[in-house]
Amino acid sequence: MAKLVLAGEAPEGSGGGRGTCGKIPKSFGLVEFSPARVTTSASGRAVGVSTGRANCPYYAKAELLADYLQANLPDFRVHKITQHPDRWEQWLRDLCEMNGWQHRQSPIIWRELLDRGGKGLLLGGVNDFLEYAQHYYGITSMMLSEEMLDIAEENLQALVETEKEEEEIRNLTNPLQIWITSASAPICYQLIPLLANGEVFGMTTEISIHLLDTDEFKNDLCGIVMEVEDMAFPLLRSISEHTEINKAFLQADIIIVLDDILLKREVQSLENYIRKVSEICYVYAPLIEKNAKKEVRVISAGKTFVNLKAMMIITYGPSINPENVIAVATSWETAAKAMLARKLNMNAAGVKDVIVWGNITGCHYIDLSHTKIYGCDSAVWGPANFSRPLMNLIYDSEWIHSEFLSARSSLRSRVCHCAAMLPAHAVATVLRYWFHGSPSGEIVSVGILSEGQFCIPEGIVFSMPVRFQNGSWEVMTELEINETTQEALERLSHDLIQEKLIALKKIKEMHPYGRDKITTKKKLH
């Protein structure tokens, strides 16, 4: 049995193959068929494959002629392959290299001699196929150029719709590939059930989890894998442990970086810890570029240097989309909201729009100037969507400027030394927002690569207010910030610039704020 194959390229291209077609002849439009001239191949059946660029009019012409042959000849079979215009040239080069063919235009048509065990026999382009059909079957085509163009456009639209449907099916059947680094950390143990129960990615999205750590923690990873498997989460397709760094992040859709540096200032300087973080990212970033999917989303979390980790992954991985790398600040948001709720004797769920600026696990500023309160038991009541500014409810301004600020030290202690539930919840919350959108109108604080918003220097990962929608985020640049906040942003920017310069080995030690500010900013760029 022989199979005929069709394939194609550009609307403005020639017919390809051994001959050229030049401009599209006006006579194309009809297919004429002479039954007396019909013959088949020596094997008793002619089968072909036609492949072409989806919007190629020459491919459209070959396709209709092949369809006509298949419909009218009992032993003629055709296999059609359409390629998107963006992928056509590379696909054609690969095909010709594999088969030793010389062909540069759309469509490409060949016969596959399946019953003889041989490789495909190249026929050529549309002109060669017309000659073939005329010689063997007595058929000619007179399709008009307008018809060819219309069918080519329909082919492209059909291909786009088909690929979209296939992508939706793949999303339902192919699990999200989630990689977690430093997976022996307690936060990972708390995070996995949150990811696998369906609330983060949706109740129809299956996931596969890959736990990455060093050989030292292989037994810990194996223990986590067995326990999670015993929980039999319906949406968890698989969970596995990995200790080979070269195979890290294969086909990753999401990467959660949990690597933490245990800070013991009496043992090493802050600068040395910064260099260690930089070294970790120097290993991770190229592997992400090489092994992960193109639009992989990277979450920097943990208790130390989350801004720096995100910043250095972006720096060392230039092909990674910077908008897909974020640092999580939600732990500070929720802890601050809980503190305010206790002061107001209300449910913490009614406290909205606390902003965390700056270095999430370092020097940052908790901004309450935009904070709103819902459902507070006070003299003024309203519907469920009625809110009041926090500053109008806490008349004791001294509490804000003294007790709240001083309480941040205890807040820092709780956040940095919490068991793991709080940071795990923070990561799960941000992922849910990223995939399904944050609550309408609410502010979420996230560490992102600055592009100069709020006069923050470009090139550093800085926590600022964003909203999530349609699978992405945008900075809420419409917010007005007061003079106090602006001064804080300048001071916080200095610290992050210093961290980056040390990580890149441009300076050796941290400089206090106010010293060499201009020089530091120049060195950053």
- CA-CA distance, 321 to 310, in Å (whole number)? 12
- Judged against a pLDDT cut of 70, whether residue 311 lies above it is answered with yes
Provide the pLDDT for residue 340. 87
Q: What average pLDDT is seen over the chain?
A: 82
Comparing CA positions, the residue from 488, 495, 513, 491 lying closest to residue 367 is 488
- CA-CA distance, 413 to 122, in Å (whole number)? 72
Provide the pLDDT for residue 388. 86
- Judged against a pLDDT cut of 80, whether residue 232 lies above it is answered with yes
**255-264, 299-308, 330-339, range with the lowest pLDDT:** 255-264
Give the tens place of pLDDT for each residue, 114-138. Answer: 555 556 788 888 888 888 888 888 8
Q: Cα dist. 474→17, 176, 301, 427, 448 in Å? A: 50, 24, 20, 18, 10
Provide the pLDDT for residue 515. 52
Q: 270-291 and 483-503 helices cross at what angle (nearest 10)?
A: 80
The two three-digit tokens of residue 344, written as one number: 């107001």
Q: Where are the domains of the chain?
A: 44-168, 174-326, 329-504
Mean pLDDT value of segment 173-187: 93
Contact 277, 309 (CB under 8 A): yes
- Judged against a pLDDT cut of 80, whether residue 434 lies above it is answered with yes
DSSP SS3 for 226: helix
pTM of the predicted model as reported, rounded to 2 decimal places: 0.67
- Judged against a pLDDT cut of 80, whether residue 95 lies above it is answered with yes
Q: Cα dist. 2→8, 74, 79 in Å? A: 21, 13, 11
Give the tens place of pLDDT for each residue, 237-289. Answer: 999 999 999 999 999 999 999 998 876 655 578 899 999 999 999 999 999 99
- CA-CA distance, 505 to 14, in Å (whole number)? 56
Mean pLDDT value of segment 443-464: 96
CATH topology of domain 329-504: L-2-Hydroxyisocaproate Dehydrogenase; Chain A, domain 2 (3.90.110)
- CA-CA distance, 361 to 217, in Å (whole number)? 25
- Judged against a pLDDT cut of 80, whether residue 470 lies above it is answered with yes
Provide the pLDDT for residue 412. 59
- Judged against a pLDDT cut of 50, whether residue 461 lies above it is answered with yes
Give the tens place of pLDDT for each residue, 190-211. Answer: 999 999 999 999 998 999 999 9
Confidence at 502, pLDDT banded by 50, 70, 90: very high
Confidence at 511, pLDDT banded by 50, 70, 90: confident
Percent of the chain residues topping a pLDDT of 90: 46
Higher pLDDT, 463 or 94: 463
Mean pLDDT value of segment 210-231: 96
Provide the pLDDT for residue 41. 35
Rg (CA), the chain: 31
CA angle 487, 499, 518 (to 5 degrees): 55
- Judged against a pLDDT cut of 80, whether residue 507 lies above it is answered with yes
Question: Is domain 174-326 in CATH 3.40.50.720, yes or no?
Answer: yes
Comparing CA positions, the residue from 289, 218, 300, 296 lying closest to residue 260 is 300
Give the tens place of pLDDT for each residue, 17-57. Answer: 333 333 333 223 333 333 333 333 333 344 455 566 667 88
- Judged against a pLDDT cut of 70, whether residue 14 lies above it is answered with no
Give the tens place of pLDDT for each residue, 395-408. Answer: 666 677 666 766 66
Mean pLDDT value of segment 329-347: 89
- Judged against a pLDDT cut of 90, whether residue 354 lies above it is answered with yes
DSSP SS3 for 433: helix
Write the class of the CATH domain 44-168.
alpha beta
Confidence at 12, pLDDT banded by 50, 70, 90: very low
Provide the pLDDT for residue 10. 39
Higher pLDDT, 8 or 165: 165
Provide the pLDDT for residue 377. 72
